[in-house]
Structure 1
Amino acid sequence: MARRRSRARLPLAVMAAVAVMGTTAVAGPSVAEAGPDKPTIRYTEYGIPHIIASTWEGLGTGYGYAAAKDNICTLADTYLMVNAQRSRYLGPAGKASPGQSQNSTSNLNSDLYFQRINDNQVVERLLEQPAPNGPEPEVKEAIRGYVQGYNRYLAETGVGNITDPACRGAAWVRPITELDVYRHAHAEIIMGTADPLLDGLVNAAPPGASAAAAAAAKSPTAARRAKSARETGRRIREAMAASRSDSMGSNALAVGAQGTSGGTSMLLANPHFPWQGKNRMWQSQLTIPGKVNVSGASLLGLPAVNIGHNDDVAWSHTVATVAPFGLFDVQVDPLNPTMYLVDGAWQRMTSQRVSVDVLNADGSVGKVDRTMWSTRYGPVTASVQGIPLPWVVSAHAVRDVNMDNLRALNTWFHLDQATDVHDVVNTLETTQGVPFFNTIASDRKGNALYADIQATPNITDEHAQSCLTETGKILFNQTLRLPNVPPVSIFDGKRSACDWPADPNAVAPGLLDPRKQPRLIRSDFVGNANDSAWLANPEQPLSFPRVMGDTAAPRSLRTQELILTAQNRINGTDGLPGRGFTPENMRHLLFADNSRAADLALNATVKGCQDVPFGLVLVDGNLVNISEACPILAAWKSHDFTADSRGSWLFENYWYRLAGGKGVESLPWKVPFDPKDPVHTPNSLDPGNNAVRDSLARTVLAMRNAGIPLNTALSDAQKVTRNGEQIPIHGSIHELGVLNVVTPGLVDGKMDITFGSSFIQQVRFAADGPPQASSLLTYSQSADPTSPHYADQTRLFSAGQWVTERFTEEQIAASPALETKVLD
């Protein structure tokens, strides 16, 4: 595709004023002259680097150096993972996080998974392909530079002098190669499949012939087979729903000219990414004069901006409801379970011996070998999300739509240079590299864009209904309405016609035609909070193939909250002054931490509490007096999860017991879901329902047993610890319908935030002038506890404060914290 250039402008006088003193960091705006041919890092407040160079390679060099300086241990640990060496250095029983969830598998299983990919030279083959399936020239140049920058920092510092104790002196910290970086990028792209399937893929083994024959001889009735299929489908969907509630998510809101006050458009980016590990985000500004000038954040170690803005366009991503994989049920020969039937003929599975190094308990290094099996459709798995798929009468093979995808790198490099939302759509269609994300964008022209254009399996509704197995129908269709669960297909592998067909309009075989994928451009607003594309704007519901998600189904409370926040602000009915969004009220509304669940159910909960005779409830063999909870909840009239709120922690724990892991529709509402009014239904919680009373009683009992007062302030209950300092964190889990999502959990045996608001950005465009932006990296730029930027933005987040962005050269030069490093 023709490259479009953003309006990056850099005055020559400013270019000549970039400070340099050898290669050491110096404070002050200017002490000597240096041309833009030397990669230059200018740090402003909170350690945010503004990297400028004259080439893509130079830009990558600056990014690699600065990223390593802040997070070398996290990066080195990631390269250890993608090179399948965690067991060699850290032991096989340790935990790895290759997917969206934290610590989702063992080091051994992670190594076996990645070693198979490496043995098959998946990434190397992709690198040999021309664009769009292979990386474009500027991508290669930037990654070449990134490697130089990373290795330069490591050489200057030395492994033994790394300040972060997590990897100081570690044998596994080493210089990297370009292949390491591409393997890391590929691992990020396939993580939507790795999470639910990794363990099953590395542990699938055929049964002995006698066991398979005995199972086949039992020959259950059709009714029993159908019942078993339904039960398996139900269990998988419930497991996937539970997993997605504890993994990545996001909100994003784009507001067009009709929804803004004093500007042409605005964007709120609010991804909910992990606070630890390889999926941390890292903030930077990247500039090549005349080519690109983009500010925002990327997944750590990818030298581009994934979520951010340039002079004309701002964009964000949210986790979509597309399943990036599908399964194929293949009938096997009972006497030879590695033979399977296709189109009436038996075919032989292929086997592959995978071997990884493992650190033994005595310090020696041994080997673990595993034989893995594949079919024409892909590798065989033994489970999905931990639910067994027995290899007896049939086996299940996996096809991953992203296994041959490095195109996402091209996508993000193009987005960094987009000129308007139409350019964004063109980028998404011509690269089809987005792996499992929606894209929400606004532009200077006053447009707001929602697009779910990504690498999607080519499964039309007609193809699905002709090929789905009984279990597949449960997973793919709306038989079980659970929140945000992707429609996973299980197709009849006995028919080759059920494979994903090639579409001439798609970028690669097996991908859905991008023109069939939903998009919407409006002048008021569009948004997404991890539900499907159906209600990107409720005034214009979207339709799309079922493989991309559901329609006419209940929305999550967080989706309702996002839509109502936009509608009420544009209409001026939210109690704030005026109509339309401004930077101030957009930031305020996110950190107001309002709970849609409390709006809908608090009053009924209080009534249910007050109506319990003598306040006594018998649950789980305990007689619990809940009367103390009633006035505490009644006094929580603000319905917010700000730090000083009281009653919010009690309500959160109660609501999680009542609603956790269930669809909104399954709760005891008096008014059921109505597809004609999806933003306001279901509603009216039944206060007399036993589930309401029992959930509250269990919560009261649990808090008392933990020694937590029922009226505890949120700031006393929800904190993170940084170098001994306890920092209160506002917000709540997604089930509460709060936009500012934070998910507490155990990290290395201590309470922390595992997922939640990460890189937050608010951008406003006007007809003229630079974009106005504020941002916040909630967990701060560095994972190194010795860094001054280990917790500085975390304290800002705790206080509800933002960082005013420095984007223009004048703004950068005016920073009182300015430090400059030139890489000669």
Structure 2
Amino acid sequence: MPTRLRQLVVAAAVLFTAAASLPAAAADDRGRQERPSHGGLSAVIRYTEYGIPHILAKDYADLGFGEGWAQAADEVCTLADGFVTLRGERSRHFGADAAADGSLSAARTNLTSDLYFRGVRETRTVEKLLAEPAPRGPSRKVRDMMRGWAAGYNAWLKQNRITDPACKDASWVRPVSELDVATRGYAIAVIAGEGRFAETISAAQPPAGSATATGSPSARSARTPDAKAVAEAAFDLWGEAGMGSNAVAFRGDTTANGRGLLLGNPHYPWEGGRRFWQSQQTIPGELNVSGGSLLGTPAISIGFNAHVAWSHTVSTGIPASLHQLTLDPADPTTYLVDGEPEHMTKRTVTVAVKDGAPVTRTQWWTRYGPVVTSLSSQVPLPWTTTTAYALYDPNAVNLRFADTSLGFSKARSTDDVLKSLARHQGIPWVNTIAADREGHALYTQSQVVPRITDELAARCSTALGRTTYPASGVAVLDGSRGDCALGSDPDAVRPGIFGPARMPTLKNAPYVENSNDSAWLANADRPITGYERVFGPVGTQPGLRTRGGVEDVAAMAERGGLTVRDLQRQQFANRAPAGDLAAQDVARACAALPGGTATGSDAKAVDVSEACGVLKAWDRTMDTDSRGALLFDRFWRRLTQQVPPAQLWKVPFSVADPVRTPHTLNTDAPGFATALADTVAELRAAGIAPDAKLGAHQFVVRGGERLAMPGGSGRLGVWNVLEPTWDAAGGGYTEVPFGSSHLQAVGWDDGRCPVARTLLTYSQSSNPDSPHHSDQTRLFSGEKWVTSRFCEKDILSSPKLRVVRVGEHR
């Protein structure tokens, strides 16, 4: 070992031993006394294989410093771009009409994004939440981590030269503050609520002809919203979040050694500000956890320690509600509550624009939240002289996610996970699945949703809400009635949300699994019922990914004797349940077509005879060497778009058999033969053979190397989800913007160290010049894993060990 490295390793060991000898509280006090917030922060970072940092620090501020430094080293351009978004300065640097950064809100243009985030900044929304006492606001430990993260990021900028071409020499790469870090956490919390409505929050204006109008549509031209269209738009808005996941935990009596097992498989963007990033965080005697953090956040979001492992899946809970306002006929910016007028709050926001004059817009806010005028571009919610709609997002006062995650990081059991959820109540839009060393398994939908009970919805829904709530869980309440206020549970940390006693939860079933359907089928033999509709439906048809996942994990649990290796096999089984259900029917109907031809949507006859045999022989997987997988994938996408769900299957869904129904493809449905013809014609035009191997046409290019990608679309029911971009001219699926991301298969043996395998599918760094830009992506291509180095002996024995001491002053 080189002398300098040996010295750093010894220094790290001394730090570890010295800090471990201090009581946690004493170490915390000493850190605050000896290193005030203006300087002196430092950490030791031990890098092992694939650039994974193991951050060793004496207290939470130092830990945040190391985390901020290491994230900047890997992702400085992605992070800096996100901070431009959070400051509301995209128009100033990149132009008002350019496409917005879609990772932190649903704004379509930079101008709309800036108007929303400038409004957050100018109203001091995040500062007010930072000032709240814990647990309503962040704890001192989390504040220290945020402050340290900002200092670490800034120190890296000061001491290093940016090589990433995405932001090299860019003027918009600037130092950040604790407020910037907190605002990033805020944006993540509201991304499924206010963040979804950024466009309409900034566009909503009083009707034309009123004294306060600024060019909005005439009240006479506004139509009453169609209830069915609103319900469908609400389902689309929150039912397909652009994020997803699978996770399963197994109870000890299903495993080989009686200890729990957890497989986490979140499906997140492969690019931009919602990427995961791996690290281990250690404060000796206080904290030791490994996992993935969402970029720009200081705490581990999903991960494991020596006692417990957890993951998240995007839930079916509706994180916001609508309130229909009755307006004062003389003033459409005044609404009535119990007959008494309340004036909307007018927020005027000005945004600087590159090569242009500043743009000023007005936003209108109520006691419930901002006025909104649409659910989508196709479904307006008109602001007329008599009616308007306001959005209530309880996560708009939620900076508690980091404390909840920190509680998980320190947990010693699944009960401790529940305690953290109960104390902080900071999970905004996900379920939690966990397992522990003692063999316990946990599923809970403990998230922040509006306190909409079924009784309240029945009593207070408007005519529109009486359609939307049963159909989608989206409440539209009568905002003119004081008795329709959301109220408060006695165990809720804030009014207007449910307390932990009301959350759908299942403890210690043989398995608990979620694939973004409702809590109902977390375990098919022990269905969860009795929760309010706002959390999700009961007794409705699950998606194919849930059906396939439950089939797989139930069979695993019944077989028993499970190990981490079984979790690894499940992740890369790449089974396509849609193929199991339908491929044989498709092949049979294909072979029966007269003359082996079908008519495409362009009215041309297409010879599909070769496809029949390919589909019959297909192995029903999305492995890279699977022949027929690409053909079926392209066909299934077309078929499910053209044939309504009610006509797709001959045997309908049965609530008595929810995992195995519906089944038997209806090959007589209008559109079946057309979908087959169009698929064959598409592949032929692209020069792709029907029996081509999937990996030849589902790939990414990294450093000039083509890497075949295993897995498939969630609409096929595949566990290992990829939602790739189709480019026929480029050879098929040529990039993966979204899919499996931070994978972890975790168990425990009789030793002190967890038995864990991990994989960050898109690798640690977005910088194409980094050695860690594609190394784990290459592993993913080969369905290989990284063996986690959690314990000291494993970290120090890494052949790739590189130890760096980082500080504010070097």
Question: Which whole-Å CA distance do the structure 2 matches of 1:742 and 1:447 have between them?
Answer: 31
1:185-334 superposed matches below 5 A: 185-209=185-209, 228-237=225-234, 239-240=236-237, 243-244=240-241, 247-333=242-328
3-state SS, counterpart of residue 173 of structure 2? coil
Once the two structures are superposed, residues 211-255 of structure 1 have per-residue CA deviations (whole angstroms, 9 ceiling, x without a partner) of 9999777999xxxx6xx53243244146427843xx110000001
Q: CA deviation at 1:735?
A: 0.3
3-state SS, counterpart of residue 697 of structure 1? helix
Question: Which whole-Å CA distance do the structure 1 matches of 2:704 and 2:53 have between them?
Answer: 27
2:798 is the alignment partner of 1:811: no
Structure 1 counterpart of 2:661: 681
Once the two structures are superposed, residues 253-275 of structure 1 have per-residue CA deviations (whole angstroms, 9 ceiling, x without a partner) of 00111221234110001000110
Question: Which whole-Å CA distance do the structure 1 matches of 2:290 and 2:643 have between them?
Answer: 38
Which residue of the other structure, out of 365, 374, 385, is the alignment partner of 1:374? 365
Question: Which whole-Å CA distance do the structure 2 matches of 1:680 and 1:431 have between them?
Answer: 39
Matching residue's letter, 1:264: R
1:17-32 superposed matches below 5 A: 21=4
Question: Which whole-Å CA distance do the structure 1 matches of 2:205 and 2:642 have between them?
Answer: 31
Which residue of the other structure, out of 561, 580, 603, is the alignment partner of 2:561? 580
Q: CA deviation at 1:110?
A: 0.5
Which residue of the other structure, out of 560, 563, 570, is the alignment partner of 1:589? 570
Which residue of the other structure, out of 323, 333, 336, is the alignment partner of 1:338? 333
Question: Which whole-Å CA distance do the structure 2 matches of 1:235 and 1:117 have between them?
Answer: 30
2:587 is the alignment partner of 1:606: yes
3-state SS, counterpart of residue 641 of structure 1? coil
Matching residue's letter, 1:626: V
3-state SS, counterpart of residue 313 of structure 2? strand
3-state SS, counterpart of residue 654 of structure 1? helix
1:419-568 superposed matches below 5 A: 419-478=412-471, 487-543=473-529, 544-568=531-555
Which residue of the other structure, out of 134, 137, 140, is the alignment partner of 1:134? 137
- Aligned residues of 1:56 and 1:142 also touching (Cα < 8 A): yes
Structure 1 counterpart of 2:51: 47
Q: CA deviation at 1:807?
A: 0.6
**CA pair 612-330 structure 1, distance change in 2 beyond 3 A:** same
Q: CA deviation at 1:656?
A: 1.2
Question: Which whole-Å CA distance do the structure 2 matches of 1:746 and 1:700 have between them?
Answer: 15
- Aligned residues of 2:250 and 2:557 also touching (Cα < 8 A): no
TM norm structure 1: 0.90
How many residues matched?
772
Structure 2 counterpart of 1:13: none
**CA pair 26-594 structure 1, distance change in 2 beyond 3 A:** farther
Structure 1 counterpart of 2:31: none
TM norm structure 2: 0.91
Question: Which whole-Å CA distance do the structure 2 matches of 1:320 and 1:133 have between them?
Answer: 23
**CA pair 801-48 structure 1, distance change in 2 beyond 3 A:** same
Question: Which whole-Å CA distance do the structure 1 matches of 2:165 and 2:643 have between them?
Answer: 41
Question: Which whole-Å CA distance do the structure 1 matches of 2:235 and 2:682 have between them?
Answer: 25
**CA pair 401-709 structure 1, distance change in 2 beyond 3 A:** same
Which residue of the other structure, out of 608, 615, 634, is the alignment partner of 2:616? 634
- Aligned residues of 2:428 and 2:447 also touching (Cα < 8 A): yes
Q: CA deviation at 1:488?
A: 1.5
Which residue of the other structure, out of 328, 337, 353, is the alignment partner of 1:358? 353
3-state SS, counterpart of residue 79 of structure 2? helix
Structure 2 counterpart of 1:774: 757
Gaps of 5+ in 1: 1-16, 479-485, 573-578
**CA pair 205-820 structure 1, distance change in 2 beyond 3 A:** same
Matching residue's letter, 1:230: A
3-state SS, counterpart of residue 357 of structure 2? strand
Question: Which whole-Å CA distance do the structure 2 matches of 1:548 and 1:93 have between them?
Answer: 37
Q: CA deviation at 1:586?
A: 1.5
- Aligned residues of 2:643 and 2:670 also touching (Cα < 8 A): no
Question: Which whole-Å CA distance do the structure 1 matches of 2:12 and 2:229 have between them?
Answer: 68
Question: Which whole-Å CA distance do the structure 2 matches of 1:327 and 1:662 have between them?
Answer: 32
**CA pair 216-287 structure 1, distance change in 2 beyond 3 A:** closer
- Aligned residues of 1:263 and 1:765 also touching (Cα < 8 A): no
Once the two structures are superposed, residues 408-464 of structure 1 have per-residue CA deviations (whole angstroms, 9 ceiling, x without a partner) of 111011111011011111111111100001000001110110011111211111001
2:185 is the alignment partner of 1:181: no
Question: Which whole-Å CA distance do the structure 1 matches of 2:681 and 2:190 have between them?
Answer: 42
**CA pair 662-281 structure 1, distance change in 2 beyond 3 A:** farther
**CA pair 565-214 structure 1, distance change in 2 beyond 3 A:** closer
**CA pair 147-462 structure 1, distance change in 2 beyond 3 A:** same
Once the two structures are superposed, residues 561-614 of structure 1 have per-residue CA deviations (whole angstroms, 9 ceiling, x without a partner) of 111111112233xxxxxx432211211121010011111111111112112211
**CA pair 462-715 structure 1, distance change in 2 beyond 3 A:** same
- Aligned residues of 1:327 and 1:489 also touching (Cα < 8 A): yes
Q: CA RMSD in A?
A: 2.5
Structure 1 counterpart of 2:38: none
Once the two structures are superposed, residues 672-707 of structure 1 have per-residue CA deviations (whole angstroms, 9 ceiling, x without a partner) of 111111111111112222332222222222222333
Question: Which whole-Å CA distance do the structure 2 matches of 1:661 and 1:46 have between them?
Answer: 44
Structure 1 counterpart of 2:73: 69
Question: Which whole-Å CA distance do the structure 2 matches of 1:27 and 1:655 have between them?
Answer: 59
Once the two structures are superposed, residues 372-429 of structure 1 have per-residue CA deviations (whole angstroms, 9 ceiling, x without a partner) of 1122211111211333212124211111110000011110111110110111111111
- Aligned residues of 1:457 and 1:500 also touching (Cα < 8 A): yes
- Which stretch of structure 1 is more off in the superposition, 798-807 or 652-661? 652-661
Gaps of 5+ in 2: 20-41
Which residue of the other structure, out of 378, 388, 408, is the alignment partner of 2:380? 388
Q: CA deviation at 1:133?
A: 1.3
Question: Which whole-Å CA distance do the structure 1 matches of 2:323 and 2:642 have between them?
Answer: 27
**CA pair 423-242 structure 1, distance change in 2 beyond 3 A:** closer
Question: Which whole-Å CA distance do the structure 2 matches of 1:382 and 1:62 have between them?
Answer: 44
**CA pair 822-660 structure 1, distance change in 2 beyond 3 A:** farther
Once the two structures are superposed, residues 725-759 of structure 1 have per-residue CA deviations (whole angstroms, 9 ceiling, x without a partner) of 22111111110000000111389x99421111000
Structure number with greater CO (CA < 8 Å, separation at least 6) is 1
3-state SS, counterpart of residue 416 of structure 2? helix
Structure 2 counterpart of 1:692: 672
Question: Which whole-Å CA distance do the structure 2 matches of 1:296 and 1:357 have between them?
Answer: 39
Q: CA deviation at 1:710?
A: 1.9
Identity of aligned residues (%): 41
Structure 2 counterpart of 1:758: 741
Structure 2 counterpart of 1:414: 407
3-state SS, counterpart of residue 293 of structure 2? strand
Structure 2 counterpart of 1:710: 690
